[in-house]
Amino acid sequence: MRDYQSVADAVTEEIRSGGLRPGDRLPPQREFARRHGIANSTAARVYQELARRGLTVGEVGRGTFVRAASPATDPALTEPATTRIDLELNYPVVPEQSALLAEGLAGLLRPDALAEALRPAGTAALPAVQDSAADILAAGGWRPDPSRILFSGNGRQAIAAAIATVVPPGARLGVEELTYPVVKAIATRLGITLVPLPMDGEGLIPEAIEEAHATAPLHAVYVQPRLHNPLSLTMPEARAERLAAVLQNLCIPAVEDAIWSFLHNERPPLAAHAPEHTILIDSLSKRIAPGLTLGFVVAPAALSTDINTTLRASGSAPARFALEAAHRWQQDGTVAALVEAKQREAAVRQRIAARHLNGFAVQSDPRSYHCWWRLPHPWRADTFVAAAARHGIGVVPAAAFTVGDNHAPNAVRLGLATPQPDALSQALATLAELARSAPEDFVTD
């Protein structure tokens, strides 16, 4: 008769190969014993061994389930590194996140509710869902008209649809001189010319739009007024009002990227100042969870139909399950709880960065999950990125955010959200040590 270890090994391999997936329920022990030709007592020992290995979890009254894999531990900073600490991708996750989300989904998993949630959805969704979305997007005393809210599969689709709607192929789109890299890719795909617009310590300079438009017409402007990526700048109210006035005078729409604004939600968006000239874009992947993709578009009345058509034509409609989940999480307070938790976590991570990067030219905001680091001489961004990679750390060079032929600053962006705090601290200590050394100290044959 087979011993319990060999049977447990076989089940372990089935879990690791994907034959058994997280959440799958194992059969009752008596049935398991019959299938494998073992005694009931041996089956009990197999189940105990699987639980000891951390592969299964028992739930009273329900059975034994395959457990979701534990997050991989962050790598040690050895050289050469076989795994990486990721300071490139930037998705905030807090410890209480999964428990909060699971509790809010309980009602949605009833067969009748689930059947409804798995039906196809449109880009306008249901009025109740639009109302919840308006509450999610509310900031600084501003709340969008729920009827103006459209939905997409994710934030990138929403940005692409907004730009495609207001900027025809071959036309010009004004962007901040350092901009979200995805917008560069969208412009290339749509055949749009990006026009870099100067910034200062308060963000985009409104007069720069007037000057660029006088040279050749701009069809729209893409802007990140709150917690700009990568600079973490937030536009003061006076600057936002001036920008709104310029947009209105020139009759130019703005695509406002508000995806990081949940971390700074006491300030109203640009859409509050120029509602008929601003298309506000937001999403849930950073506010809620990386795997939950749902985009929001708050569209002016004059553009709503056209944007809706673009979303539908591009296959960018949202999943109804995501809509229903977001609605429930907003109603039961989960969204607010996660936002508060992620705001607190951002402050913790910024303190870690401030401790290790003290004395360097670092620009950020205590509410932000990223830092902009102007590197000390004689480091160049490309050599620093390469040196960091040799130590198993991924960072983003300034060139990723630079538009056109503009000279890329000698800087890198550090995303603080992904690693565990201890690994983040270790990575930043390593980067600080690199920056204090000469580049040739890290050149190898």
pLDDT exceeds 70 at position 415? yes
Please list, in sequence order, all residues whose beta carbon lies within 8 angstroms of the beta carbon of residue 21, skipping any fewer than 6 positions away: 66
Convert the pLDDT of each residue in 354-399 to its tens digit: 999 999 999 999 999 999 999 999 999 999 999 999 999 999 999 9
pLDDT exceeds 50 at position 80? no
Q: How far apart are CA 34 and CA 39, in angstroms?
A: 8
Structure confidence at residue 41 (pLDDT): 87
Give CA angle at 195 (190, 201), nearest 5°: 130
Do the Cβ atoms of 416 and 90 come closer than 8 Å?
yes
pTM: 0.82
Residue 341: how many other CB atoms lie within 10 Å: 17
- Structure tokens belonging to residue 303: 């553009």
Q: With bands split at pLDDT 50, 70 and 90, how would you rate the model's confidence at 78?
A: very low
Structure confidence at residue 2 (pLDDT): 72
Provide, rounded to the nearest whole percent, the portion of the chain with pLDDT above 90.
Answer: 70
Q: With bands split at pLDDT 50, 70 and 90, how would you rate the model's confidence at 98?
A: confident
- Structure tokens belonging to residue 128: 């109740």
Give CA angle at 243 (402, 169), nearest 5°: 55
Q: Largest Cα–Cα distance in the chain?
A: 86
Structure confidence at residue 125 (pLDDT): 67
Structure confidence at residue 200 (pLDDT): 97
Structure confidence at residue 104 (pLDDT): 82
Strand order from edge to edge, sheet including 411-415: 361-363, 370-374, 411-415, 396-397
Write down the mean pLDDT value for the chain: 90
Length of the chain: 445
Q: How far apart are CA 354 and CA 342, in angstroms?
A: 18
Q: How far apart are CA 124 and CA 408, in angstroms?
A: 40
Q: With bands split at pLDDT 50, 70 and 90, how would you rate the model's confidence at 404?
A: confident
Please list, in sequence order, all residues whose beta carbon lies within 8 angstroms of the beta carbon of residue 329, skipping any fewer than 6 positions away: 101, 104, 288, 335
Provide, rounded to the nearest whole percent, the portion of the chain with pLDDT above 70.
Answer: 93
Convert the pLDDT of each residue in 254-313 to its tens digit: 999 999 999 999 999 999 999 999 999 999 999 999 888 999 999 999 999 999 999 999
Instruction: Give the mean model confidence (pLDDT) for residues 58-83.
Output: 59
Q: With bands split at pLDDT 50, 70 and 90, how would you rate the model's confidence at 70?
A: low
pLDDT exceeds 50 at position 44? yes
Residue 63: how many other CB atoms lie within 10 Å: 13
Structure confidence at residue 405 (pLDDT): 79
Q: How far apart are CA 148 and CA 413, in angstroms?
A: 34
| Residue with the larger pLDDT of the pair 151 and 4 | 151
Residue 411: how many other CB atoms lie within 10 Å: 24
Residue with tokens 């509050």: 272
Helix axis angle, 4-17 to 40-52, nearest 10°:
50
Nearest to 136 by CA among 237, 10, 269, 232: 269
pLDDT exceeds 70 at position 435? yes
Convert the pLDDT of each residue in 138-196 to its tens digit: 999 999 999 999 999 999 999 999 999 999 999 999 999 999 999 999 999 999 999 99
Do the Cβ atoms of 349 and 390 come closer than 8 Å?
no
Calculate the CA 324 to chain-centre distance.
20
Q: Supply the DSSP symbol for 139.
A: B
Look up residue 28 and give its amino acid. Answer: P
One DSSP character per residue, 366-435 reads TT-SEEEEEPPTT--HHHHHHHHHHTTEE-EEGGGGB-TTPPPPSEEEEE-SSS-HHHHHHHHHHHHHHH
Could you give the C-alpha distances from 401 to 185, 230, 319, 353, 408, in angstroms and in order?
11, 8, 30, 21, 8
Look up residue 116 and give its amino acid. Answer: E
Look up residue 297 and give its amino acid. Answer: V
